[in-house]
Protein backbone atom coordinates (compact mmCIF):
# COMPACT_ATOMS: atom_id res chain seq x y z
CA UNK A 1 0.00 0.00 0.00
CA UNK A 2 1.29 3.44 -0.91
CA UNK A 3 -0.70 5.22 1.82
CA UNK A 4 -1.15 8.88 0.92
CA UNK A 5 0.61 10.24 -2.15
CA UNK A 6 0.81 13.82 -3.42
CA UNK A 7 1.58 15.22 -6.85
CA UNK A 8 3.68 17.22 -7.61
CA UNK A 9 6.44 17.31 -4.98
CA UNK A 10 7.68 20.78 -5.98
CA UNK A 11 6.26 23.59 -8.08
CA UNK A 12 7.14 27.19 -8.87
CA UNK A 13 4.37 29.47 -10.11
CA UNK A 14 4.17 33.06 -11.20
CA UNK A 15 1.60 35.33 -9.60
CA UNK A 16 -1.77 34.84 -11.26
CA UNK A 17 -1.09 31.35 -12.59
CA UNK A 18 -3.30 28.44 -11.63
CA UNK A 19 -2.53 24.90 -10.62
CA UNK A 20 -4.03 21.78 -9.08
CA UNK A 21 -2.47 19.63 -6.38
CA UNK A 22 -3.50 15.99 -6.38
CA UNK A 23 -3.82 13.80 -3.29
CA UNK A 24 -4.54 10.10 -3.49
CA UNK A 25 -5.03 7.52 -0.73
CA UNK A 26 -5.43 3.76 -0.96
CA UNK A 27 -6.67 3.10 2.58
CA UNK A 28 -10.38 3.52 1.78
CA UNK A 29 -10.59 6.44 4.22
CA UNK A 30 -13.73 8.53 4.24
CA UNK A 31 -12.15 11.72 5.56
CA UNK A 32 -9.52 13.74 3.71
CA UNK A 33 -7.89 17.08 4.53
CA UNK A 34 -5.69 19.74 3.00
CA UNK A 35 -3.29 21.70 5.24
CA UNK A 36 -0.71 24.36 4.66
CA UNK A 37 2.40 24.66 6.79
CA UNK A 38 4.26 27.91 7.25
CA UNK A 39 7.29 28.50 9.51
CA UNK A 40 6.28 29.00 13.14
CA UNK A 41 2.57 28.49 12.47
CA UNK A 42 2.07 24.76 12.61
CA UNK A 43 -0.42 23.24 10.22
CA UNK A 44 -3.58 25.08 9.25
CA UNK A 45 -6.58 23.39 7.72
CA UNK A 46 -7.60 24.72 4.30
CA UNK A 47 -10.49 22.45 3.25
CA UNK A 48 -11.69 18.99 4.15
CA UNK A 49 -14.02 16.27 2.91
CA UNK A 50 -16.04 13.71 4.81
CA UNK A 51 -16.87 11.60 1.80
CA UNK A 52 -17.06 11.36 -1.97
CA UNK A 53 -18.79 14.40 -3.43
CA UNK A 54 -18.59 16.47 -0.24
CA UNK A 55 -16.25 19.31 0.70
CA UNK A 56 -16.19 21.98 3.40
CA UNK A 57 -14.13 24.98 4.43
CA UNK A 58 -11.45 24.84 7.09
CA UNK A 59 -9.58 27.59 8.88
CA UNK A 60 -7.91 29.29 5.86
CA UNK A 61 -9.98 28.52 2.72
CA UNK A 62 -9.68 31.82 0.83
CA UNK A 63 -7.97 31.53 -2.54
CA UNK A 64 -8.38 27.74 -2.72
CA UNK A 65 -10.97 25.35 -4.10
CA UNK A 66 -11.27 21.59 -3.70
CA UNK A 67 -13.05 18.66 -5.26
CA UNK A 68 -13.63 15.05 -4.19
CA UNK A 69 -15.09 13.33 -7.23
CA UNK A 70 -13.67 9.95 -6.24
CA UNK A 71 -13.30 8.62 -2.71
CA UNK A 72 -9.58 8.04 -3.09
CA UNK A 73 -8.72 11.46 -4.56
CA UNK A 74 -8.84 14.97 -3.12
CA UNK A 75 -7.80 17.87 -5.36
CA UNK A 76 -6.70 21.31 -4.20
CA UNK A 77 -6.88 24.13 -6.74
CA UNK A 78 -5.34 27.58 -6.81
CA UNK A 79 -7.17 29.66 -9.42
CA UNK A 80 -4.92 32.73 -9.28
CA UNK A 81 -1.79 32.13 -7.24
CA UNK A 82 -0.43 34.85 -4.94
CA UNK A 83 2.95 35.08 -3.16
CA UNK A 84 1.10 34.63 0.16
CA UNK A 85 0.29 31.09 -0.97
CA UNK A 86 3.95 30.11 -0.95
CA UNK A 87 3.95 27.25 1.52
CA UNK A 88 4.25 23.52 2.02
CA UNK A 89 0.94 21.77 1.40
CA UNK A 90 0.08 18.50 3.09
CA UNK A 91 -2.80 16.20 2.39
CA UNK A 92 -4.04 13.79 5.04
CA UNK A 93 -6.68 11.12 5.37
CA UNK A 94 -8.33 9.36 8.27
CA UNK A 95 -10.87 6.71 9.12
CA UNK A 96 -13.46 8.83 10.92
CA UNK A 97 -12.09 11.08 13.68
CA UNK A 98 -8.93 9.17 14.40
CA UNK A 99 -5.25 9.40 13.57
CA UNK A 100 -4.47 11.20 10.36
CA UNK A 101 -2.11 9.82 7.74
CA UNK A 102 -0.16 12.50 5.92
CA UNK A 103 1.27 12.58 2.42
CA UNK A 104 4.87 13.67 1.73
CA UNK A 105 3.89 17.26 0.93
CA UNK A 106 4.13 19.69 -1.98
CA UNK A 107 6.50 22.63 -1.78
CA UNK A 108 4.96 25.53 -3.67
CA UNK A 109 6.69 28.82 -4.42
CA UNK A 110 4.76 31.71 -5.96
CA UNK A 111 6.94 34.44 -7.45
CA UNK B 1 -10.24 31.27 16.58
CA UNK B 2 -9.24 28.29 18.62
CA UNK B 3 -5.71 28.19 19.84
CA UNK B 4 -3.53 25.48 21.20
CA UNK B 5 -0.49 26.95 22.90
CA UNK B 6 2.60 24.80 22.72
CA UNK B 7 5.83 25.52 24.58
CA UNK B 8 8.71 25.81 24.19
CA UNK B 9 9.05 26.78 20.55
CA UNK B 10 12.63 25.48 20.43
CA UNK B 11 14.62 23.10 22.61
CA UNK B 12 18.28 22.25 22.22
CA UNK B 13 19.59 19.33 24.26
CA UNK B 14 22.69 17.22 24.53
CA UNK B 15 22.22 13.60 23.63
CA UNK B 16 21.16 11.72 26.73
CA UNK B 17 19.30 14.66 28.31
CA UNK B 18 15.56 14.60 28.81
CA UNK B 19 13.07 16.72 26.85
CA UNK B 20 9.52 17.87 27.55
CA UNK B 21 7.04 19.81 25.45
CA UNK B 22 3.75 21.15 26.78
CA UNK B 23 0.42 21.83 25.16
CA UNK B 24 -2.18 24.09 26.79
CA UNK B 25 -5.74 24.90 25.83
CA UNK B 26 -8.18 27.44 27.21
CA UNK B 27 -11.03 24.97 26.70
CA UNK B 28 -11.67 21.42 27.85
CA UNK B 29 -10.53 18.99 25.20
CA UNK B 30 -12.31 15.83 24.13
CA UNK B 31 -8.99 14.29 23.21
CA UNK B 32 -5.52 15.27 22.08
CA UNK B 33 -3.18 13.81 19.51
CA UNK B 34 0.59 14.06 19.17
CA UNK B 35 2.57 14.04 15.91
CA UNK B 36 6.25 14.05 15.03
CA UNK B 37 7.70 15.63 11.91
CA UNK B 38 11.29 14.90 10.94
CA UNK B 39 13.20 17.69 9.13
CA UNK B 40 11.97 17.80 5.53
CA UNK B 41 9.35 15.16 6.25
CA UNK B 42 5.66 14.94 6.95
CA UNK B 43 3.81 14.68 10.29
CA UNK B 44 3.52 11.16 11.65
CA UNK B 45 0.94 10.20 14.26
CA UNK B 46 2.36 9.19 17.64
CA UNK B 47 -0.58 8.80 20.00
CA UNK B 48 -4.07 9.90 20.99
CA UNK B 49 -5.09 10.60 24.59
CA UNK B 50 -8.74 10.55 25.56
CA UNK B 51 -9.20 10.05 29.30
CA UNK B 52 -8.64 12.57 32.07
CA UNK B 53 -5.26 11.98 33.73
CA UNK B 54 -4.28 9.41 31.12
CA UNK B 55 -0.62 8.43 30.89
CA UNK B 56 0.73 6.39 27.99
CA UNK B 57 4.25 5.25 27.26
CA UNK B 58 6.01 4.33 24.05
CA UNK B 59 9.55 3.20 24.87
CA UNK B 60 11.33 6.43 25.93
CA UNK B 61 8.29 8.64 25.24
CA UNK B 62 5.71 9.38 27.94
CA UNK B 63 2.47 11.19 27.12
CA UNK B 64 0.17 12.73 29.71
CA UNK B 65 -3.30 14.24 29.57
CA UNK B 66 -4.17 16.62 32.37
CA UNK B 67 -6.85 15.89 34.94
CA UNK B 68 -8.92 18.83 33.68
CA UNK B 69 -8.27 17.80 30.05
CA UNK B 70 -6.90 21.26 29.28
CA UNK B 71 -3.24 20.40 28.94
CA UNK B 72 -0.95 17.64 27.80
CA UNK B 73 2.75 16.89 27.75
CA UNK B 74 5.24 14.75 25.88
CA UNK B 75 8.38 13.71 27.73
CA UNK B 76 11.36 11.99 26.12
CA UNK B 77 13.85 10.29 28.41
CA UNK B 78 17.52 10.18 27.41
CA UNK B 79 17.18 11.79 24.00
CA UNK B 80 18.88 10.31 20.97
CA UNK B 81 19.79 11.93 17.65
CA UNK B 82 16.90 10.04 16.09
CA UNK B 83 14.51 12.13 18.22
CA UNK B 84 15.33 15.27 16.23
CA UNK B 85 12.27 16.89 14.69
CA UNK B 86 9.21 18.98 15.44
CA UNK B 87 6.62 17.68 17.85
CA UNK B 88 3.04 18.88 17.44
CA UNK B 89 0.00 18.48 19.63
CA UNK B 90 -3.39 18.68 17.96
CA UNK B 91 -6.87 19.05 19.39
CA UNK B 92 -10.27 18.33 17.97
CA UNK B 93 -11.93 21.24 16.20
CA UNK B 94 -14.47 22.80 18.54
CA UNK B 95 -17.87 24.13 17.62
CA UNK B 96 -20.09 21.44 16.21
CA UNK B 97 -19.14 18.08 14.79
CA UNK B 98 -15.40 17.87 14.37
CA UNK B 99 -15.32 15.34 11.47
CA UNK B 100 -11.81 14.63 12.62
CA UNK B 101 -10.70 18.20 11.99
CA UNK B 102 -7.70 19.15 14.08
CA UNK B 103 -6.22 22.39 15.34
CA UNK B 104 -2.45 22.04 15.62
CA UNK B 105 -0.15 23.73 18.07
CA UNK B 106 2.80 25.69 16.70
CA UNK B 107 5.13 22.79 17.45
CA UNK B 108 8.34 22.38 19.43
CA UNK B 109 11.50 22.02 17.38
CA UNK B 110 13.91 19.64 19.08
CA UNK B 111 17.59 19.53 18.20
CA UNK B 112 19.90 16.98 19.80
CA UNK B 113 23.63 17.56 19.93
CA UNK B 114 25.68 14.34 19.89
Q: What are the tens digits of pLDDT across the range A88-102?
A: 999 999 987 789 999
pLDDT digits (tens, 9 = 90+) for B80-109: 999 999 999 998 875 556 677 888 999 999
CB–CB contact A48 B99 (8 Å):
yes
Q: Ramachandran region of residue A63, left (φ > 0), alpha (ψ -120 to 50) or beta?
A: left
Region B36-65: what's the mean pLDDT? Answer: 97
* Whether B48 contacts chain A with CB within 8 A: yes
pLDDT of residue A31: 94
pLDDT of residue A96: 79
pLDDT digits (tens, 9 = 90+) for A41-74: 789 999 999 999 999 999 999 999 999 999 999 9
Of B45, B93, B99, the CB nearest to A31: B99
Q: For residues B34 and B89, what is the distance between their CA atoms, to the nearest angstrom?
A: 4
Shortest CA gap B42–chain A (Å): 5
Q: For residues B108 and A42, what is the distance between their CA atoms, to the nearest angstrom?
A: 10
Mean pLDDT of chain B, nearest integer: 92
CB–CB contact A104 B41 (8 Å):
yes
Confidence of residue A79 (pLDDT cuts 50, 70, 90): very high
Amino acid sequence: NAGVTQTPKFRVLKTGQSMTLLCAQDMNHEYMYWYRQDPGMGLRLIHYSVGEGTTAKGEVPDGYNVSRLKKQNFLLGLESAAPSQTSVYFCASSYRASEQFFGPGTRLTVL
Amino acid sequence: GQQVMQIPQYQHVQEGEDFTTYCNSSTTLSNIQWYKQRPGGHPVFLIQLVKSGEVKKQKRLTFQFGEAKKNSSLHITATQTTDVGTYFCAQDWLGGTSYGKLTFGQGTILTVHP
